[in-house]
Structure 1
Amino acid sequence: MQLLEAKLHKIDRHNYRSYSSMRGEYHFVDFDFFIDTVQSDPFAPASRVRARRAWSLTDLEWLREKSTDYQRAARDFIARFFADLSQQDNAVLIDMPGQTILDRTSVVFDEEGIELRFRINMPADGRTIIAKKTLNLLTFYLPKMIRRATIARELPMDELQRHCEAVEDQVALRSQLKQHKLLAFVADGSLLPRIAGNSDLPLTDAIPFLSPDNLAVELEAPHKGKIRGMGIPEGITLIVGGGFHGKSTLLSAIERSVYDHVPGDGREYVVTNDAAAKIRAEDGRCVHNVDLSPYISNLPMGKDTTAFSSQNASGSTSQASWLQESIESGAEALLIDEDTSASNFMIRDERMQALICKEDEPITPLVDRIALLRDQHNISVMLVMGGSGDYLDVADTVIQMHNYDAVDVTEKARAVVASHPTRRKQEGTEVIVHPRTRQINRSALQSMLEEGKFRIQVKDKTSLRFGREYIDLKALEQIAHSSQLLAIGYLWFQLAQTKGWEKNPTRAFANMLHDNWADMMPKYGEMAKPRVIEVMAVLNRMRKAEFK
């Protein structure tokens, strides 16, 4: 600490850039402090720092004997606790978790102890260093926060235990889905609605979810015990009902529950197969050599759709591409909302078939291919559908949402099919070939970073800057936090270290995202582990990416 004080006194009243001399390691009485990067300007991104405290000084060594999921939750809890402490001084910033509990780098457990990784806005008067103010922050206020967040007697241990046990319960519930042949599980009493479209916080006066008896199952959680709820079977499931009755709310809860949620979120006992992908139409996106022939063929001027590329895809083309890319990336289930889909990709009714003959229509709608996805590739599909009854012919399960209550209307739907048979013609009966595994040019990724002066930057979860390119990600609704995007950028950087073509990028990223995935990353505190599906979905939207 004396070294830190000496350096600060030496640069007092100097230009702000003199803070760069502060980089290095400093030893306090009971923790080590590292200044890794220093901002060059008061308006530049804050300086990155770390604090490491030995296990023997924390009374938290028992955490090392717990499961990896328990430890992940404990690290998340400590990060939240430190974030609450840092609100007292806006100069200290830690990657603030939302409602999801992700595998983050803001708090790390290693052999030596607990490491906190965060940022500090170094104080100044304009662009002049005020050493006294910085000294007060770094040697008085900050050590108090570090000590409180890394010692058992200062942490609310009952809350920490509930936080960690909730995660172990969710992991256990999710692990039972395949055993019971379920796509998802929604526990009774869950609160699914959110307070606003731009908020992930629960609507506290919402109607608690209750499973219809026909779909009710009981799963076993290690801490909560038996939990009753609605089991959504594998296969094709339709969510139907009138407008504003909760169809999209249910789908939204299911799509977000590929991740764990904090206690009190309302969705902490809602779990989904973690290989489920939400897809939609996305006008204007890029597509790189994707085989769209199962859904789109016979394009004007003989354009090939077995290796389709575009920098400005239409709604139907973009949705077909997303479907194929998801399966290529390992998706086992597809989640689709009619409201955000291209209508001509979803359905072509009897009258339109009579008006436009099949030879003049390049699109084979999903309604004619969805059963083949299920039967030939074991892909489950969950559809929110309010406008087309033709999907009733292929549905295995039909759930009606009525005033936010779920009702199993599968038998009623089958009676409707029997009494009102469709007169539209089946348009796609041929075998669906599994999407080819495309190769990615690693050298192109490396050259993009070189051209852009190595820029991997994230401001929010709707955009990632890689080199000079800004990748638009507004359509990716399953990105839980912007910290996942920063991790994705650095995963690409790792892939780009070797020149040439990567034959199977999905497998390469899966190998990188093992339990110790963060060890290959820079020691930044603002990263969180993404799914391989998201890594590939973002990569597919990079306009300068080179696939073959």
Structure 2
Amino acid sequence: METSTELRNLLHRIDHKGYPAYKDTKGTYQFQGYVLSIDHVQGDPFASPSKVSVHMKGKMAGFPRELYCGDCQRRALQDYLTRQFHRAAESYAFKAKGSGKSGLISISRCGQEVLERTAFWMDDKTGDIVVRLEIGFPANGRTINARELEKILFDFLPDCVEKSLYYRTCDKKRVRGAIDLAEDQEYIRGQLEAMGLTAFVANGAILPRESGISPRPMKGAVPFRSPKELEVTMELPHKGTLSGMGIRKGITLIVGGGYHGKSTLLKALELGVYDHIAGDGREYVITDGTAVKIRAEDGRSIKKTDISMFINDLPNGKDTSGFYTEDASGSTSQAANVVEAMEAGAKALLIDEDTSATNFMIRDELMQRVIHRDMEPITPFIDRIRELYERYGISTVIVAGSSGAYFHIADTIVQMDRYVPREITAEAKKEAENFPALSGLEEPADKPVFHRCPGQNRAYRGNDRIKMKTMGREGVQINRESIDLRYVEQITDSEQVTALGYCVRYAEKNFFGGTTPVQDVVDRLEEKIRRNGLAGLCESMSNVACLAMPRRQEIFACFNRYRGLML
């Protein structure tokens, strides 16, 4: 390790040289209170920025042990400090001048959700901190401008560290508030099972968002207020008494007119699998952590998935116990999505009529009379929904606006009326008595078989260089193979997509071999992440990518949409 003075002298020596001379700066340097590590130096000012990390001992940072003693607390503190560092760094971005990405100072930009990230790591025993960021090393054309980099490393970065990484300079009330909120959210999630609930939506929650492209709460929105019949009350460790709507296990139907808040409520439940920051409006919207949003997904790849629970006796004789297609229809894709959610361990399914295949969801009485059941290979979801709950313990929340077919079988029916929920189970079922229920199946389906064992793609055998490119939240490209994740709607951050790409890449190199089932592959990946953190998926600890933790369910979803998966 060298001193900061030696780094300064080095910068003076290479000033005005060709850009490749910046490579000489790679290494570690002792600054006052922390170690600066220059981990990767960009090839030219227009390339991806250089990767830099700050390492600080826990004793120097000074955060009390109770703020990071458990996963919940540590994750909340990391998230809070990442946001603080981002604000400080943003105020200095591009103040150092030059061509290309010169002057960029960047750390992960956090959204409304609290996620584990590689950008900020804190040891839960010692409190040691590692912050990973990107810096555009300044240049004039392709000539080093070391004086500008000196500003970044000796003026701007130390100020960011001072404002963000020391407990003495933090707003202690806000830090404590972030930890308390995380503990309250964890408490609610832990109470769902005991209370027989799939989800909880607190009174006063703000569910509508500012716009279709903004995740922030809408100003002037109607606060959520639970119907008295569904209201439950909890005593939280920090907030104290909190009441709200408990969505009970079983089958819940959400109905109402267009633009009355049905899909808004469902969207809040989808993202309730994550903790949220204070001020989001959905801090106390908590959903079973395994819940999966299900929709039709025309054109997706399906690899040897057992969809026989829903689809059988296809006219072309195609095997549906190991169904394979590169261009799924709406019904087959939705059937596969349900079965794959079961494989991933989901205990709740979230479905919106608007994004579902009609022939998968229902077949009305007239259609059943005209087209006899023997002529129809699809067993609609309405015939299996009760079986999913009673046999497998999987609850379902369905948003419906046009079909009343589910009134007969729903356990709870909630009407959204101008964003205000009403419990209408009794009156809806009474009205449904005037309409015949659709005839159901008498025999339950065989339990789906989850035996898929991915083999290694021949293109990757002995190949240590697997190229990867993230395309926002829409997907990831592995070499020339694109994985379309547009309709995996519970992905909330592009860094989760990047992490999913690394999961595929790591599994290709280490786990895919033809004898390990997909479930075991995901188990091994999760164990790897538990032991080494997300950074352990990267090839080198000195060149860690910007990753955010995906759920187990999204890892499955990514594998299932990977057309290069060899089965």
Q: Is the 8 A contact 1:439 1:505 kept in 2?
A: no
Q: Over residues 180-201 of structure 1, what are the superposed CA-to-partner deviations in whole Å (9 max), with x where a residue is unaligned?
A: 0100000000000001112211
Matched ranges for 1:109-120 at <5 A:
109-110=122-123, 111=126, 113-120=128-135
3-state DSSP class of the match of 1:178?
A: coil
How many residues of Structure 1 are paired with residues of Structure 2 in the alignment?
544
Structure 1 distance, partners of 2:42, 2:283, is 39
Residues 449/13 of structure 1: CA separation in 2 closer, same or farther (3 Å cut): farther
Residue 509 (structure 1) aligned to one of 504, 513, 525: 525
Amino acid at match of 2:200: F
Residue in structure 2 matched with residue 2 of structure 1 by the alignment: 5
Q: How far did 1:154 drift?
A: 1.9
Structure 2 distance, partners of 1:357, 1:169, is 53
Q: Over residues 264-307 of structure 1, what are the superposed CA-to-partner deviations in whole Å (9 max), with x where a residue is unaligned?
A: 10000110000100010111110000111111112122111111
Residue in structure 1 matched with residue 193 of structure 2 by the alignment: 178
3-state DSSP class of the match of 1:32?
A: strand
Residue in structure 1 matched with residue 487 of structure 2 by the alignment: 475
Residue 419 (structure 1) aligned to one of 416, 434, 437: 434
Residues 514/374 of structure 1: CA separation in 2 closer, same or farther (3 Å cut): same
Residue in structure 1 matched with residue 297 of structure 2 by the alignment: 282
Q: How far did 1:230 drift?
A: 0.2
Residue in structure 2 matched with residue 105 of structure 1 by the alignment: 118
3-state DSSP class of the match of 2:463?
A: helix
Structure 1 distance, partners of 2:204, 2:445, is 40
RMSD over aligned CA atoms reads 1.9
Residue in structure 1 matched with residue 500 of structure 2 by the alignment: 488
TM-score under structure 1 length normalisation: 0.95
Structure 1 unaligned runs (5+)? none
Structure 1 distance, partners of 2:159, 2:545, is 19
Matched ranges for 1:243-282 at <5 A:
243-282=258-297
Residue in structure 2 matched with residue 215 of structure 1 by the alignment: 230
Residue 88 (structure 2) pairs with residue 85 (structure 1): yes
3-state DSSP class of the match of 1:400?
A: strand
Q: Over residues 384-431 of structure 1, what are the superposed CA-to-partner deviations in whole Å (9 max), with x where a residue is unaligned?
A: 011111111110110000010000011112212223333x432x3322
Q: Is the 8 A contact 1:440 1:545 kept in 2?
A: no
Q: Is the 8 A contact 2:263 2:399 kept in 1?
A: yes
Structure 1 distance, partners of 2:44, 2:453, is 38
3-state DSSP class of the match of 2:152?
A: helix
Q: Is the 8 A contact 1:248 1:337 kept in 2?
A: yes
Q: Is the 8 A contact 1:445 1:492 kept in 2?
A: no
3-state DSSP class of the match of 1:300?
A: coil
Residues 204/131 of structure 1: CA separation in 2 closer, same or farther (3 Å cut): same
Matched ranges for 1:116-265 at <5 A:
116-265=131-280
Q: Is the 8 A contact 2:304 2:452 kept in 1?
A: no
Q: How far did 1:136 drift?
A: 1.2
Residues 445/189 of structure 1: CA separation in 2 closer, same or farther (3 Å cut): farther
Structure 2 distance, partners of 1:192, 1:287, is 34
Structure 1 distance, partners of 2:230, 2:526, is 34
Residues 499/371 of structure 1: CA separation in 2 closer, same or farther (3 Å cut): closer
Q: How far did 1:511 drift?
A: 2.9
Residue 463 (structure 2) pairs with residue 460 (structure 1): no
Residue 359 (structure 1) aligned to one of 364, 371, 374: 374
Residues 442/137 of structure 1: CA separation in 2 closer, same or farther (3 Å cut): farther
Q: Is the 8 A contact 1:74 1:164 kept in 2?
A: yes
Q: Over residues 38-65 of structure 1, what are the superposed CA-to-partner deviations in whole Å (9 max), with x where a residue is unaligned?
A: 2112222211111011222222143566
Residue in structure 1 matched with residue 101 of structure 2 by the alignment: none
Residues 20/433 of structure 1: CA separation in 2 closer, same or farther (3 Å cut): farther
Residue in structure 1 matched with residue 350 of structure 2 by the alignment: 335
Structure 2 distance, partners of 1:372, 1:206, is 38
Structure 1 segments of 4 or more deviating over 6 A?
none
3-state DSSP class of the match of 2:129?
A: strand
Structure 2 distance, partners of 1:349, 1:342, is 14
TM-score under structure 2 length normalisation: 0.92
Residue 557 (structure 2) pairs with residue 537 (structure 1): yes
Structure 1 distance, partners of 2:44, 2:68, is 43
Q: How far did 1:518 drift?
A: 3.1
Amino acid at match of 2:491: I
Residues 438/12 of structure 1: CA separation in 2 closer, same or farther (3 Å cut): farther
Residue in structure 2 matched with residue 434 of structure 1 by the alignment: 447
Q: How far did 1:151 drift?
A: 0.9
Amino acid at match of 1:517: G
Structure 2 unaligned runs (5+)? 94-103
Residues 498/352 of structure 1: CA separation in 2 closer, same or farther (3 Å cut): closer
Residue 26 (structure 2) aligned to one of 16, 23, 27: 23
Q: Is the 8 A contact 1:373 1:432 kept in 2?
A: no
Structure 2 distance, partners of 1:112, 1:188, is 36
Q: How far did 1:513 drift?
A: 4.4
Q: Which moved more, 1:327-336 or 1:503-512?
A: 503-512
Matched ranges for 1:278-317 at <5 A:
278-317=293-332
Structure 2 distance, partners of 1:323, 1:23, is 49
Q: Which moved more, 1:25-34 or 1:72-81?
A: 25-34
Structure 2 distance, partners of 1:40, 1:469, is 26
Amino acid at match of 2:466: F
Q: How far did 1:162 drift?
A: 1.0
Amino acid at match of 1:69: C
Amino acid at match of 1:479: I
Residue 46 (structure 2) pairs with residue 33 (structure 1): no
Q: Is the 8 A contact 1:262 1:268 kept in 2?
A: yes
Residue in structure 2 matched with residue 521 of structure 1 by the alignment: 537
